[in-house]
Amino acid sequence: MARTTFYEESATSVNAQTEARIAKAYNIASIIALSIAALIVFLSLTYIPSMFMMYEGVALVLNLIVFFAPILALVGLFFLFRHLKRKKNVSYDYTFVEDEVRITKVFNGKSRKFQHTLSAAQMLKIGYVDKDSFRRTLEGVRNKKAVYLTPNKEPAEGKIFIYILYSSSIEKTLYVLECRQQMLEYIVLAAGINKFERQ
């Protein structure tokens, strides 16, 4: 019978304020790049027709390439800055409900992307990342790395890194979460104390 326990918390970057400023700078830069590209396109509405009258053949093609190259570069910068922005100020939300952990990735505290649902019934092993059992478990997952569902390399104050060896219908995956002891206790209670590795 599923438990009705509900608990949630977030793993936020320890450098969240700095990363938020960097993400904002990338956002502004992307808007500037796209605005300049749009301005060039607008100004070209009169220039392009005259180019077809002035040049022909290879000369026309070369002039079109030279003209459109900066526009394409600016559009490329727009997408690059948007991509870099999404890599900054990332956090993860964990929601424990009905014997499963639902994990969502959050970008800049706004847009959200669902990542995984970990059912307690399919958890094979649970433990602390700083214990020997993590290393042994990682060695047992052939040619695979642990999947870190946290933005931090070290746990924030009051939190711990835990691992969950999870078996889906396709493969076994080792996940790492950053949470408080209380979240770990809920997970262990749902999955079964026999799956918890203390050492």
Least confident of 34-38, 108-112, 161-165: 108-112
Residue 4: the pLDDT is 61
DSSP per residue, 80-125: HHHHHHHTSSEEEEEEEETTEEEEEEEETTTEEEEEEEEEGGGEEE
Per the prediction, the chain carries an average pLDDT of 88
Q: Does 171 score more than 50 pLDDT?
A: yes
Confidence of residue 118 (pLDDT cuts 50, 70, 90): very high
Supply the DSSP symbol for 8. E
Q: Could you read off the pLDDT of 84-102 as tens digits, one per residue?
A: 887 788 999 999 998 899 9
Q: Does 36 score more than 70 pLDDT?
A: yes
Residue 75: the pLDDT is 92
Rg, the chain, Cα only: 25
Structure tokens at 132: 């020997």
Q: What are phi and psi of 105, to 5 degrees?
A: -95, 135
82 burial level (CB within 10 Å; 0-12, 13-18, 19+): middle
Place of tokens 């190259």: 69
Per the CB < 8 A criterion, the answer to whether 30 and 85 are in contact is: yes
Q: Does 195 score more than 70 pLDDT?
A: yes
Q: Does 2 score more than 50 pLDDT?
A: no
Q: What are phi and psi of 78, to 5 degrees?
A: -55, -50
Residue 96: the pLDDT is 94
Residue type, position 94, single letter = Y
Q: Could you read off the pLDDT of 3-34 as tens digits, one per residue?
A: 467 899 999 888 778 888 888 898 899 999 99
**Percent of the chain whose predicted confidence (pLDDT) is above 90:** 56
Q: How many Cα atoms within 13 Å fall on the side-chain side of residue 104? A: 15
CA–chain centroid gap for 66, Å, is: 37
**Percent of the chain whose predicted confidence (pLDDT) is above 70:** 95
Q: Could you read off the pLDDT of 58-87 as tens digits, one per residue?
A: 777 787 787 788 889 999 999 998 888 877
Confidence of residue 188 (pLDDT cuts 50, 70, 90): very high
Residue 108: the pLDDT is 82
Structure tokens at 192: 């079964």
Per-residue pLDDT, averaged over 89-118, amounts to 91
